[in-house]
Chain A
């Protein structure tokens, strides 16, 4: 199993550009998440999904959009990049609530720099 994979690893965007951060998991997890981590800070939840076709906002959703058309994929879209979106983005997945394995598995992250 590859686990959670993210692409790209690193990207530089100009202000106002758009991009999609890709996330795929091969563990058949229902739940998937997007976090951002600013330097020296903890992770903040952007969006999450409890299954295909279902998404919900996290703590910091403004400026982002997500979709979940399949169990495996959970892309994150930035429509109008702003310098405040410079961060490291982590995708994660987990088993559903109530299952013993509550651990979230993280992808390696995407480093985004907006200039």
Chain B
């Protein structure tokens, strides 16, 4: 079983709609979580950190459920520019801030 698992998608989303997707993690030692965005043939870039209480950044909302070991990302009012692959990432601080990446969820926003 992969440490961080994601639905690869693609999620085809009409412009202006809301899309949400989850990621599950298996290592209970994971301490921090992040969503990274990766555009085609580009490097990953941090979208947002995920806090236990849930956090919002503009149209993006992230939530963490430690009991069920999943993280979610919700995008409201989708824009064409939101089309990308979203990588779910867990971090274990011991031994060098090691990040474990999920395989990514591809989102395609269409007019």
Interface residues of A (CB under 8 A from B): 31, 33, 35, 40-45, 48-50, 56, 58, 90, 94, 96-98, 102-104, 106-109
For B67, list chain A residues within 8 Å (CB).
none
Is B55 interfacial (CB-CB < 8 Å)? no
- Residue of B34, B43, B91, B98 with highest tally of chain A CB at under 10 A: B43
Contacts A49-B96, A56-B95, A102-B93 supplied; 18 other A-B pairs, CB < 8 Å: A35-B101, A40-B8, A42-B102, A43-B87, A44-B101, A45-B99, A48-B98, A94-B97, A97-B93, A97-B94, A97-B96, A102-B49, A102-B97, A103-B46, A104-B46, A104-B97, A106-B45, A107-B43
For A106, list chain B residues within 8 Å (CB).
43-45
The 7 closest A-B pairs by CB, nearest first: A42-B101, A106-B43, A97-B93, A42-B103, A43-B101, A50-B96, A97-B97
In this complex, the interface size class of chain B, counting residues with CB under 8 Å from chain A, is: 20 to 34
- Structural contact, B99 and A41, CB atoms closer than 8 A: no
How many A-B residue pairs have C-beta atoms within 8 angstroms? Tell me: 56
- Structural contact, A90 and B46, CB atoms closer than 8 A: no
Q: Given the known inter-chain contacts A40-B8, A98-B93, please indicate yes or no for A104 contacting B45, CB distance below 8 A.
A: no
For B46, list chain A residues within 8 Å (CB).
103-104
6 contacts between A and B (CB under 8 A): A31-B97, A90-B44, A97-B94, A102-B32, A102-B91, A107-B43
- Among B4, B94, B97, the residue within 8 A (CB) of A42 is B4
Q: Who on chain A is nearest to B43 by CB?
A: A106
CA–CA, A107 and B98, complex, Å: 17
- Structural contact, B96 and A43, CB atoms closer than 8 A: no
CA–CA, A104 and B101, complex, Å: 12
For A50, list chain B residues within 8 Å (CB).
96
For A94, list chain B residues within 8 Å (CB).
97
CA–CA, A102 and B91, complex, Å: 9
- Structural contact, A40 and B43, CB atoms closer than 8 A: no
Q: A16: shortest Cβ distance to chain B, in Å?
A: 27
Q: Given the known inter-chain contacts A42-B104, A97-B94, please indicate yes or no for A104 contacting B99, CB distance below 8 A.
A: yes
Is B42 interfacial (CB-CB < 8 Å)? yes
